[in-house]
Amino acid sequence: QRLKAAVHYTVGCLCEEVEEDKDVQFSKQSIAAISDITFRQCEIFAKDLEMFARHAKRTTVTTEDVKLLARRSNSLLKYITQKSEEFASNNMEQKEKKKKKSSTAKGERTPGEPEAAVTENEDSNMA
């Protein structure tokens, strides 16, 4: 019920934006109808995504499932693909940063990092 209310609120906000941009008016009934259709379509999308994952013998919905769902809308598919690539590159960058931090904390060298100079302590112990 709360989700349905959130969808209704969001649709109302979007309709207000369109009203300002296009100089049109939406009745409360038309906003309610758009909200209801949007909610029902989201339920259908959720079931389809679940079926795509199940068909692939997975329990988790992946980005590829979402792309398959969006395949009929070229602009939506392009947008989802672009965002997916952005998320993937951001995740790779974050993993690299974590990897560098953990290896630096452990005293390991990262590739391309020069060896540390011998410290005074080690130098005096050798003498």
41 shares its domain with 69: no
8 shares its domain with 35: yes
38 shares its domain with 68: no
- Per-residue pLDDT in tens (0 to 9) along the chain, 127 residues: 999 999 999 999 999 999 999 999 999 999 999 999 999 999 999 999 999 999 999 999 999 999 999 999 999 999 999 999 999 999 998 888 888 877 776 665 555 545 444 444 444 444 4
What's the domain count of the chain?
A: 2
Quote the pLDDT of residue 108.
56
Q: Is the residue at 109 inside a domain?
A: no
Amino acid at 19: E
Tokens of 54: 């199940």
Quote the pLDDT of residue 124.
45
Quote the pLDDT of residue 52.
98
Residue with tokens 């909610």: 39
Nearest to 63 by CA among 43, 41, 86: 86
Q: Is the residue at 113 inside a domain?
A: no
Q: Is the residue at 6 inside a domain?
A: yes
Spatial distance between the Cα atoms of 86 and 70, rounded to a whole number of angstroms: 18
The CATH number of the domain holding residue 21 is 1.10.20.10
Nearest to 31 by CA among 46, 50, 49, 16: 16
Q: Is the residue at 2 inside a domain?
A: yes
Q: What is the reported pTM?
A: 0.68
Q: Provide the CB-side half-sphere exposure for 75 (13 A, CA).
A: 0
Q: Is the residue at 126 inside a domain?
A: no
Residue 91's domain comprises: 62-98
Stated length of the chain: 127
42 shares its domain with 67: no
2 shares its domain with 35: yes
